[in-house]
Structure 1
Amino acid sequence: MTGRRGAVAAVLAVVGLLLTGCVSIPDSSAPQPIEEFSRSQPANLVPVPRNGDDPETLVRNFVKAQSDPASGHKAARRFMTAGAGKRWDDQGPMTVLRDVQVLVDERSETAVRLRLTGHRTGVLAANGQLTPADGDMVIPLNLTRDAKRWRIDGDLPVGSITDDAQFGASYRSAELFYADRTATHLVGDPRWMFGNTVDPTELVTGLFAGPGSDLSGAVGAMGSDLELRGPVTTDHDQVTVNLGGVSDSDTRNRTVLAAQIVWTLASAGIRGTYLINSDGSPLVPERAEGWTTADVAAFNPDPDSSDSDTLHLVRAGGLFRVGDSGVKPVPGALGAAHDLRSAAVSAGQARVAAVADRDGRQVLLDGPYGGDVREITTGGAITTPTFGASDDTAYTLVDGRPMQWTTEGDAPNLVPLDIAAVTAVDPSPITSIRVSPDGVRVALVVGGKVLLAALATNDRGVPALTGVHPASVGVSDPVRAIGWGGRTTVYLVRDSDDAPVMRISVSGLPASTLVSGNLKAPVSAVSATRAKVYAADSRGVMELGTSASSTDQYWTSVNGAETGTVPVTPSG
């Protein structure tokens, strides 16, 4: 287990700080060994047994010590008798628990029988994927005492456990970046790793091991022979990565590989000039002096763009843009319309889609931003459209059926999505679909719950939703609306007067509530950027700053957004 989960653990605790509440962790695929180079484990992240510990304290610290996967959970085995430690099979995922209790059932001078109880918040797979989990867990334990100390005896369940506080203190979150199927955008694959800091060798080794099961059909595969030869080294601002098995000689494909490595390291705070070699020579001869993030800026997963922060409003049946000079109708047909009910703007603000009420039917419209629009289809009910990373591909629900349309060429091409994987998880009606700005991840509302999926292509060449799994646990009320706030965060509106807006991270953390001050129920819609979230309440549209540098404590009203107005953000 050590070699496997040791490579699975270290990333930004910042993600955990952004989301309040206990840590949540989900199911994932079968463990894969991904660690090839040893590294020293950080000290003092887990407790050690002390002779004076009573049984309850010993068990609680034993739970915390299991968070350290090093050397076959050596830290945790110190709390056990020699026989129990030898019998314990620690292979498998780690379950994270909240509300851990130690209940003593029987006690004598030399033996204690007790139960460890807790509520699952998630499961950490050996590859570092955190997926939500739910339900109570009860583990019976026996303790024995020698002349000086208590130790855990008897058999333990397969795998390991820890509590949510310990997980938050000893694990870090980072992203591995994989190219999408077009090899033009990078898609983040969050992983959780043990330790105080992020190990660059660990990151690149994890990257080469391939994406998690939820993304495996939606992103490009790493080369089967690709390997890391030796550890990733850092010397001041120079980061050296030596590769082997790079069989593709195409410069474009090698640049995509470099972009994956560079952005995986840079996003984890390992910055500098990246010397990337293949079999002893520069990966790309023109980059013999090294790569910088500027050299692969076209692949930046979080590009700076003022367009992505622009707020639009569907107000009085028309589409309006909010700017420094106030609220003004957008140019073209949609700005002059009076029958719109919802709209979407692409990330680059090149295209716009909208739904209009006409002659007792709902009509899906699409066209260039500020220009004329054309009819894509009609239906009894069409949900708010959504773009992803591309201006020419968008999605919606038409009478409950997820649809994709593309606008390349003279006529739009409208096709239904294969939703077999969604139905297998939850056959309930799909009431909302929103595509992430990365163009791959998809958030769905199914039966009032939020599911995450990925856009792929099935064996018949049909676009499909794959890798479907619950987005989070802890959302007990039915969900009314969802929206992306960047590519890693989903905001939701639930059917509740108490903190109706919540936030979910794709990293597997549990949902957290946003402040509700100044919001007036009911809240009907949500849209967001990386720095702000907008909600439509009974009075109009309210906004809340969510960036780490300027988190608001109260919602404030958006000028010019009266009752019934719907907020619209690019790819939000």
Structure 2
Amino acid sequence: MKRVLLAVLCLLLVAGCANVPLESQPVVVSGERQGQGQNAEAPEPEQGIDSLTLVREFIRATLKPGQNNAAARAYLDDQGRANWRPSRSLTIIQDTFGTVYDTEPQPDPNTQVVNVRGIDIGTLDQNSSFVPDYSSALLHVKVRKQQNGQWRIVDPPTDLYATEADFSENYTAVPVSFYSESSNAFVPDRRYVVAKPQSGLPGRVMDLLVDGPSTSLAGTVKNLLGEPVEIDTNVKSLDDGTLVVPLTGLTGVGENIRNLIAAQIVLSLQYVTSARIRILADGAPLVPNHPDWRLNELPAYGASLSLSLDLPGLMTVGGRVRSLGDGAPVPGPVGNGGYDVVSAAQSTDGKRLAVVDRTGGQVHLRIGDLGRDLPLVSLAGSTLSRPTWRPGASEVWTVADQLTVARMVLTPNGQWTPLTVNATDLTQQGGISELRFSRDGARVAAVIAGQLWVASVVGGTGDSIALREPRHLQPHDLQNVVDVDWLSQDTLVAVTTSTSQPVVKVTVDGQRMDAFNSSNLTPPVHGVTAAPSRQIVVADASGLWIASVLGEVWRPQTHSAKDADPFYPG
């Protein structure tokens, strides 16, 4: 009987152990804000703190590490801790904010209302993208003294609030890439993910890719990883350091799309890992015979958008167009005084020019081959903004009389034909004095009433193009803007009439702005041109100046001329 009982006990132990995995991978909490997950313990607030300090410390605790906002939840009463379900939206306020008692008397002496006063600088929306704002943040928080004599919050806000410093410390910016069919290039979609634990960053970035582009790029780029594609299991690192990205739902997808998906993943993950990336589809290599990827193995998507070293850029001086490279006039009437040139733009391949020409009391648009006569096109007005080329050499945009975004398209028979742009979302913000295409064609930057805006370009051909999702960048700190250009796909350089910050660099979402050194510049600065891997050229009251990075002292451009306006192709 003892032997029988011992045998039964062993069988039960073995059966129980069969439900325990021999090895388990750590679960990546992908894409979650600090308000998600299971309850977790956190230290109680300091004993005896007053209600004003309690509310301040509650906001300071919003982004502290821990599941389910455990650190902030510790400042709530028992009912609040159990029931608080904050939204995924995060409001970011300036570091300096105030807490004051509400002037409305409370019937219960053990209950108080604390008002939080500060400046709302933006919101991290449910797509994990930053939406700029500048408005007064006023939050009412009710607190109540508990039976143990400690103050606790009894009506926590629905949205999360955090200071700018805490946000910068706890989140990292990642330009997630999405494919643009119109330009055969990948467009960065700037998003923000929780920085710690660092090992989980690739998983959080992959979740953003699968979820698709943010609202600002919806309709502009293609989501190659949309349904039915999904992440099969956790994104994980192997012992040899290889990062494994396991996908599913790709049955029947052709090799061309698979290569684009691989590029999209590698381009996006480059900001959070330097490891070799193994991309799988249902357990097999996503691209046959190419299981592992590194950044330098990708095809040169968007190579046609890069500027040739043979194109040094141009400038308009005294109604003529000259080379930035040697200062010589360009061939043809644009360089020899045949036209009174107000502004100009060179196509990205360098072969064509679009010129705003002054004749009498009006300005007209001319487009044609560099070095030849430029025919007039059917567009004129009291003012035309400096032209800007859409990727390629067959479409030019300008703004007529600051209100109408005009678009000229080269037809197969060689004629430049006007087509419409639905720019109502942008023009209703005010008069547009400058408009610049990003070199991937996904966005435009605009100067509107001295302020900087960005909008997405939705639609491809015909009359279906629209400018959507206008975003006002740095609405409080960036004023009196006079010109703008694209330093990279997601970074702008703007110049202003300000003496304190005449040249600034701004992220495409407006989350960050940095001022360039103002040494050697003679305000006002009135023009700028920039491009990837090129020196930034600005024009001030004395001529042209060049610099490459923040903090660098501006140096005279070799062929500088007073009243010159520089421009790179694009």
Structure 1 counterpart of 2:57, from 35, 58, 61: 61
Counterpart secondary structure, 1:127? coil
1:7 aligns to what?
Answer: 31
Q: Report 1:358-373 matches (<5 A).
A: 358-369=359-370, 373=374
Cα deviation, residue 70, structure 1: 5.3
Cα deviation, residue 346, structure 1: 3.3
Q: Distance in 2 between matches of 1:364 and 1:304?
A: 26
Cα deviation, residue 543, structure 1: 2.6
Given that 2:419 and 2:463 are in contact with CA atoms closer than 8 Å, whether structure 1 keeps it comes out as no
Closer, same or farther in 2 for the Cα pair 1:511/1:377, shift >3 Å?
farther
Q: Report 1:24-423 matches (<5 A).
A: 49-51=45-47, 55-68=51-64, 71-98=67-94, 99-104=96-101, 113-144=113-144, 150-182=150-182, 184-196=184-196, 197=198, 199-222=201-224, 223-235=226-238, 236=240, 238-266=242-270, 268-287=271-290, 289-299=291-301, 307=309, 310-323=312-325, 326-337=326-337, 339-369=340-370, 373-380=374-381, 381-400=383-402, 401-407=404-410, 409=412, 410-423=414-427
- TM-score for the superposition, normalised by structure 1: 0.82
Q: Distance in 1 between matches of 2:330 and 2:66?
A: 58
Cα deviation, residue 96, structure 1: 0.6
Q: Distance in 2 between matches of 1:415 and 1:312?
A: 28
Cα deviation, residue 130, structure 1: 0.5
Greater shift in the superposed pair: 202-211 or 351-360: 351-360
Given that 1:390 and 1:439 are in contact with CA atoms closer than 8 Å, whether structure 2 keeps it comes out as no
Counterpart secondary structure, 1:485? strand
Greater shift in the superposed pair: 536-545 or 450-459: 450-459
Counterpart secondary structure, 1:526? strand
Higher relative contact order at CA 8 Å, sep ≥6: structure 1 or structure 2?
Answer: 1
Cα deviation, residue 69, structure 1: 8.1
Greater shift in the superposed pair: 191-200 or 105-114: 105-114
Closer, same or farther in 2 for the Cα pair 1:113/1:383, shift >3 Å?
closer
Greater shift in the superposed pair: 74-83 or 233-242: 233-242
Counterpart secondary structure, 1:307? coil
1:28 aligns to what?
Answer: none
Q: Distance in 2 between matches of 1:431 and 1:179?
A: 30
1:558 aligns to what?
Answer: 557
Q: Distance in 1 between matches of 2:518 and 2:187?
A: 32
Cα deviation, residue 55, structure 1: 4.7
List per-residue Cα deviations over 1:154-197 (Å, max 9, x = no partner).
Answer: 21221110011111111100011111133611111111111243
Closer, same or farther in 2 for the Cα pair 1:94/1:315, shift >3 Å?
same
Structure 1 counterpart of 2:509, from 499, 507, 531: 507
Closer, same or farther in 2 for the Cα pair 1:310/1:144, shift >3 Å?
farther
Closer, same or farther in 2 for the Cα pair 1:502/1:47, shift >3 Å?
farther
Greater shift in the superposed pair: 92-101 or 240-249: 240-249
Counterpart secondary structure, 1:389? coil
Closer, same or farther in 2 for the Cα pair 1:379/1:491, shift >3 Å?
same
1:457 aligns to what?
Answer: 459
Given that 1:176 and 1:191 are in contact with CA atoms closer than 8 Å, whether structure 2 keeps it comes out as yes
State, as a whole percentage, how many aligned pairs show the same letter: 23
Greater shift in the superposed pair: 462-471 or 477-486: 477-486
Counterpart secondary structure, 2:97? strand
Given that 1:143 and 1:150 are in contact with CA atoms closer than 8 Å, whether structure 2 keeps it comes out as no
2:4 aligns to what?
Answer: none
Given that 1:51 and 1:149 are in contact with CA atoms closer than 8 Å, whether structure 2 keeps it comes out as no
Counterpart secondary structure, 2:292? coil
Q: Distance in 1 between matches of 2:470 and 2:530?
A: 23
Closer, same or farther in 2 for the Cα pair 1:509/1:312, shift >3 Å?
same
Given that 1:307 and 1:570 are in contact with CA atoms closer than 8 Å, whether structure 2 keeps it comes out as no
Cα deviation, residue 77, structure 1: 0.3
Q: Distance in 1 between matches of 2:476 and 2:208?
A: 29
Closer, same or farther in 2 for the Cα pair 1:276/1:433, shift >3 Å?
same
Cα deviation, residue 229, structure 1: 0.8
Greater shift in the superposed pair: 367-376 or 85-94: 367-376
Given that 1:317 and 1:341 are in contact with CA atoms closer than 8 Å, whether structure 2 keeps it comes out as yes
Cα deviation, residue 253, structure 1: 1.9
RMSD (Å) for aligned C-alpha atoms:
3.7
Q: Distance in 2 between matches of 1:79 and 1:501?
A: 44
Given that 1:452 and 1:470 are in contact with CA atoms closer than 8 Å, whether structure 2 keeps it comes out as yes
Q: Distance in 2 between matches of 1:213 and 1:241?
A: 25
Counterpart secondary structure, 1:450? strand
Q: Distance in 2 between matches of 1:279 and 1:352?
A: 50
Cα deviation, residue 136, structure 1: 1.2
Given that 2:75 and 2:152 are in contact with CA atoms closer than 8 Å, whether structure 1 keeps it comes out as yes
List per-residue Cα deviations over 1:334-360 (Å, max 9, x = no partner).
Answer: 443462221223344344322222354
Closer, same or farther in 2 for the Cα pair 1:9/1:439, shift >3 Å?
farther
Closer, same or farther in 2 for the Cα pair 1:510/1:200, shift >3 Å?
closer
Aligned residue pairs total 531
Q: Distance in 2 between matches of 1:60 and 1:348?
A: 56
- TM-score for the superposition, normalised by structure 2: 0.82
Q: Distance in 2 between matches of 1:375 and 1:251?
A: 46
Report the residue type matching 2:419 in the other structure. Answer: V
1:570 aligns to what?
Answer: 569
Cα deviation, residue 422, structure 1: 2.4
Report the residue type matching 2:343 in the other structure. Answer: S
Q: Distance in 1 between matches of 2:302 and 2:150?
A: 53
Counterpart secondary structure, 2:216? coil
